[in-house]
């Protein structure tokens, strides 16, 4: 029953994303985040041996042109919700990071014995195609999308409430969530102050106590970090 409930929640979230929210139609940043995180996870997290991660990386880099082309086609396809200017500008600012991830993967492959089992050669051959696709997507955003990107990007109360429910898998109302967060923030800050006062004499000997409590625990953090980064 628990597994079924989790699965149903996931399916409801997918249905909401695909039929109601449809972020890919008005948020150019979506594809940047999908591509960037998809490459980064394979490069930075050694969850599986390099041959598996490197092979997956090759396939994902090879798929970048189709991914970006599909993203471009979807933008502006939702009547009544224009493309968000804020998300467009943020996507343009972060777009170069995707190619940086490709280069990082190529560096990892080249540093692996035998060129990462030949994967370095595959990535090197794919890099120009990925770079061209990213340049094309940038031109499309700058010349075709941005001049008509008049959306503000905010979801509004109703959509935000729905997205929050699917994100948290909870029926907590936004106001209740904020109230809980503020309560927890106060409790955590009080504990930080208590610990900082307790540790302060050992880590900041001779230092006069600062007037503000946030400066108190920040000073303790900085003193500890100087020896335990």
Segment 94-115 mean pLDDT: 90
Per-residue confidence (pLDDT) for residue 126, from 0 to 100: 97
For 139-150, write each residue's pLDDT tens digit. 999 999 999 999
Which 3 state secondary structure label does DSSP give 137?
A: helix
Please report, rounded to a whole number, the percentage of residues in the chain having pLDDT higher than 90: 74
For 11-66, write each residue's pLDDT tens digit. 999 999 999 999 999 999 999 999 999 999 999 988 888 889 999 999 999 999 99
Contact 164, 4 (CB under 8 A): no
pLDDT-derived band at 116 (thresholds 50, 70, 90) equals low
Segment 145-168 mean pLDDT: 93
0.85 exceeded by pTM: no
Cα 169 from Cα 6, distance rounded (Å): 9
Tokens representing 22? 């449809």
Mean pLDDT for all residues in the chain: 93
Tokens representing 210? 């600062």
Tokens 């993967």 belong to residue? 105
Cα 27 from Cα 85, distance rounded (Å): 9
For 36, phi and psi rounded to 5 degrees? Answer: -65, -45
Judge whether residue 107 has pLDDT over 60. yes
Q: Which of 18, 19, 39, 137 is nearest to 88 (CA)?
A: 137
């Amino acid at each position: 029953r628990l597994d079924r409930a989790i699965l149903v929640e996931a399916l409801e979230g997918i249905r909401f994303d695909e039929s109601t929210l449809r972020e890919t139609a008005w948020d150019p940043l979506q594809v940047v985040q999908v591509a960037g995180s998809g490459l980064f996870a394979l490069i930075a997290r050694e969850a599986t041996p390099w041959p598996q991660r490197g092979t997956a990386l090759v396939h994902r880099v090879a798929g970048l042109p189709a991914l970006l082309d599909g993203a471009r086609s979807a933008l502006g396809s939702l009547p009544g919700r224009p493309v968000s200017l804020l998300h467009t500008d943020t996507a343009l600012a972060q777009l170069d990071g995707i190619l940086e991830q490709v280069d990082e993967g190529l560096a990892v492959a080249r540093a692996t014995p035998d060129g990462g089992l030949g994967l370095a050669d595959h990535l090197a051959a794919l890099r120009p195609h990925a770079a061209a696709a990213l340049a094309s997507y940038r031109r499309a955003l700058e010349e075709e999308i941005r001049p008509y990107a008049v959306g503000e990007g905010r979801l509004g109360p109703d959509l935000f409430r729905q997205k929050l429910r699917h994100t948290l898998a909870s029926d907590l109302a936004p106001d209740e969530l904020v109230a809980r967060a503020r309560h927890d923030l106060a409790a955590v800050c009080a504990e930080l102050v208590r610990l900082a006062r307790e540790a302060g004499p050992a880590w900041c000997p001779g230092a006069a106590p600062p007037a503000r409590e946030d400066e108190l625990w920040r000073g303790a953090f900085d003193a500890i970090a100087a020896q335990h980064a």
